Structures are given as C-alpha cells and as structure tokens.
A and B are shown apart, each in its own frame.
Chain A
C-alpha cells in the first residue's frame, strides 16, 4: 500500500517562511531582516514586531537592500531579505551576483510570490525565470519548498546553512501535507514521496502536490508512478535523481517556472550525463503569464495534476 498524503488544511507558503523566520531569530541572535516595502506581504511583520532593533525597512529599493544585507553579513550578522521573487532575482540580480555570491556573503533571500500563482497582479509580477537565474550563480543554494510546513523547515535550515540561499515560495494557500517536523527534510536531499516502477515525476514547490494527485489518478489506470520532491534545486541531489531515472523508463518534471533553465533542464542534464531517459517537462512554455485566479492560471498554462498525468501517458506511449 502506497502512502496517501493528506491535506491538513490549505496554508500559504509565505506564512511558513514568516513562522520559520521568527523561530530562527529566537534561536539565533545573529539573525536580522530587511524588507523592501513588502513586509506584510512577505510575512515579516511578526519578526519586525518582536525584534524591532534587528529589522530594517529598506523601502522600494531592492538593489540597495541586497547590498546593505551583504554589509551586515560582512560583520557577522545573518540577514534575511524579503521581497517578491521578481524583485530579488530579477531586479537585483547584479547585486546578488557581485555583492553577495562573488563576495561570499551569508545572505538569505526570501523570494515570495514566485510563479503564476501570484495571480491577479499579472505577468509583471509573476516571476518564472528565477530558478534559472539563481542556480547559475556560483555559491548560491536554491530551495523551493512544497508547502507551509516545509517552507518553515526550509527557513530554519537556511538560517543554519553557511552561504547565500535563495528561498523561493508563493502567495496563495496551497495544500499543507508534509509533517510539521520532518526528519527527512534536509537541504540538498531529495525526498522520495512515492515509489513506483512505471515512471518518475520530479517536482518542486507548489507542483509537488499536483504531482502526487497525478500519481494517485494514474494508480487507477494501473500505473505505479514515483514522485520525488526536489525542494533543493542547487545543490541538486544527483544520486537520488540518477537512482530514480534508472528505476523507471521515463521521467516527467513539474515546476511553476519557465520550461528553460529550471527543473526540467536540471533533470535533463543529469539524464544526459548519467542515465539517458525521455524527459517530459510540465512548465510554462516560454511565455509570460497574465492576470487571473491561481487555479485558473495553472489550468490555462498547463500546470495541473491532469496535465502531469497526461505527460506521463504521453511519455509512456513514446517508449512503448
């Protein structure tokens, strides 16, 4: 009998970050935080209330905020900077590159509202290129947790991790299905949520739940599909990826990100090098998003459990 993951009640991943940040700061007096006029949206308000002397409002000026964080890290503080993914990875890319990564500064980037599920604000704010941008930076660790509980744990882990971390999470409530305390969660270690011999789905972020639903739907067609949660995109758990590529004839990737430079490319690269397999990619197909409800956007841009299940069927048809 395969495990059934159950939604214990939808919660937003950004609130998982907010809770984790407060806990991390209670444990470690070196943690400071900066926000760029999105303190409440990024759920840093509780930190600011509890630790006013360790919180700095930077205004709508992300480039400067990243630089100030690099300076605080130089002195030995552990800064978390919070803003939307677009304004962190996109707008302040060169600051992350030079002042943080090249300079080896221990700065944690809390990148909220990533992906299409930001919703009604539309494509200006729907960051879909950030995994590619961030994983290309030497020294950057990239984490995209799957639900509220995991985002809280990822925040606590990031606080203890030595070096820059890009922590990607989202806006809307999504199913919360991982345990509040999860000994299997470790930066850089993929989680095998479901085993299976017919196909493997590698998923990250909000798409992990969708991948599980796809696997359950395919069970009714007699297919046993593995689901791997790749919450850490860099450093990637190559060993686990290769193991599951080798155990199954086809691989499917699922991510709330452009088809280029993200999880699909990561898995394809590993497959090319170590274990050739057909890799089918469920991702945004080189286009910008638009306004709409998160569920409508996921449906229109092909990022639902049904789309993942269909990709599995197509992949299996290809290999016969």
Chain B
C-alpha cells in the first residue's frame, strides 16, 4: 500500500478512536492515538494475515497480540478497516451486548482477537506460546506482541523475556509502545524503566530502536529490520518512541488522557484536527 494511503488510514483511525471513546463516554484515547501508526503499518503494509475467514489458531499467518489491551479502540478500528468485522460494529464499542469489549476478549468471538488482554503483563507470554506452537508445527510465520511501556513494570514481562531468550524464540517480535506515560504520570517518575534498550539486551534479545514512530516509512523500515534480525536464535524487540495522544494537540504527551473520554467541547476540538478522510463508521 502506498504511503499516502497509509497516512489516510492512520488519520481516519485516529478519528475513529476519538468518535468511539466519545460515543461510549469511556475508554483510553491517549495510548490508542499514540499506537495508531504502528498498528496501521503492521496491518496494512507489514504482516501477512488473513481477515476472512478468521482463524483463531492463526496457523499459516502472522499473529498479533495487543498485550496493552486498554488501547484497543485503535486496534478495533484497524481490524474493522482491515476487513475482520463490519465497520459499523465500531459504534458498539464498550456497550452492552457488544463484541467490542472494553478490553480485548475472545468470549464474544470478535474476529482478530485470539486471547483476552487487559490485566497487564500477560500478552508476551501468550505470544511466546504461539511462537513456540508455530515452531513445533513448522509454520514459518511470526508473532508480533505490542507492549505498553508502563506495562513493563509487571514482573511477568521479565519472566517472559528470560524464557524467550532461553528457548531461542526467534519468530517473535515484541514492540514496546514507548511513550513514557503511565496512569499516574511519567514513567520516569512513577517507575523508571530506563535504560530500556540495555535491559532487553541484557536479557538476550536483539534490540532495535525506532525514534520516528509516527513516520510510516520509518516504521515499515524498522519492522523490516526487525524481521531481518529474527530467525537468528534470539527474540527481537523494537522500542518505538511514540507520543501519547498523537494527532490531537491537547492530548499529546499528557498522561491524564490515559483513560478518560473527551467532553463535548474537547470532542469538537479533537475532530477539528481529525477530518473525515475515508468515511466514518
């Protein structure tokens, strides 16, 4: 897909996120906006995946897990616009009887979701299991796991980091959404995780840094580098330096937009910055 088309998709997904969170009057807009470009790049230009018919096992295709499940508004919009389920279903986000739960879930059988996430720290382990399962099957496809940087406080992440290196799980690419924000504030104030590259390297991972995590060509190049580093006996992590709230000026870099919806005035200001480009849900 061409760069201009990817950029239009990213712009529309951001608009989807704001509309979903506003209509539900709940959700997590900041992280969703920050990870939008990464998700668009993965689903529309990088991963080999099959939206229809959706296979829960993911055998024969690349698999993505959103371990920081709270930013699922962006993921749902990307899945819908990839053809996993009808675009109109985005209007049911966080409502009763919806398949689009507040955090991703499998119980309601939403195509695209293979494991429930939300309680943080668990998705990397599950991704490792899927990667091992693919290796045992001889399936050459890869597993991508997105992690929040606040999520890295969880001990299970580092259990998983040890395990993946020890078992040479090299068909796995972790992507850290490094926005330096968590619920209670800046990660450096709440629970410092710097120097992050050195930590993953010390655990035996191949480490890549992506400074321009909102530049689609740069993202795609970094993902290709991650693929080039895979298959060599080490798991790969891509640290993507994102901006929380990217695309809506008053949400950018403000941790208070972790988990609250905009009010009517804020909504109008946000939409003014996010024009409809590909058709609203």
Contact = CB atoms under 8 A, between A and B. Distances in A.
Nearest to B69: A98
Interface residues of A, number: 32
Contacts of B57: 74-76
Given A102-B105, A103-B115, A72 B132 contact: yes
B25 interface: no
Nearest to B123: A67
A98 B116 contact: yes
A218 B132 CA distance: 55
Contacts of B134: 75
B66 to A, nearest CB: 13
B115 A71 contact: yes
A73 B133 CA distance: 8
Q: For chain B, which range describes its interface: under 10, 10 to 19, 20 to 34, or 35 or more residues?
A: 35 or more
A178 interface: no
Contacts of A64: 125, 128, 156, 159-160, 162-163
A184 B129 CA distance: 36
B125 A71 contact: yes
B133 A75 contact: yes
B75 to A, nearest CB: 16
Contacts of A74: 56-58, 114-115, 126, 129-130, 133
Nearest to B104: A103
A94 B121 CA distance: 11
Contact of B127 (A56, A71, A77): A71
A76 B121 CA distance: 23
Given A75-B137, A76-B57, A102-B105, A68 B119 contact: no
Nearest to B113: A103
A97 B116 CA distance: 10
B163 A70 contact: no
Given A102-B105, A103-B115, A67 B130 contact: no
A102 B116 contact: yes
Given A61-B159, A63-B156, A68 B115 contact: no
Contact of A59 (B118, B119, B127, B163): B163
Contacts, number: 117
B115 A59 contact: no
25 contacts: A59-B162, A59-B163, A59-B166, A61-B159, A61-B163, A63-B156, A64-B159, A67-B128, A67-B129, A68-B129, A70-B125, A72-B132, A74-B130, A74-B133, A75-B133, A75-B136, A75-B137, A77-B133, A77-B136, A98-B118, A99-B115, A99-B122, A103-B105, A103-B115, A104-B107
Interface of A: 32, 53-54, 56, 58-59, 61, 63-77, 79, 94-95, 97-99, 102-105
7 A-B pairs with the lowest CB-CB distances in the bound complex, closest first = A71-B129, A67-B125, A75-B133, A64-B159, A61-B159, A68-B129, A71-B130
Interface of B: 56-59, 105-107, 114-119, 121-134, 136-137, 155-156, 159-160, 162-163, 166-167
Given A58-B163, A94-B122, 11 more contacts: A59-B162, A64-B128, A64-B156, A67-B129, A68-B163, A70-B125, A74-B114, A75-B58, A75-B134, A103-B115, A104-B107
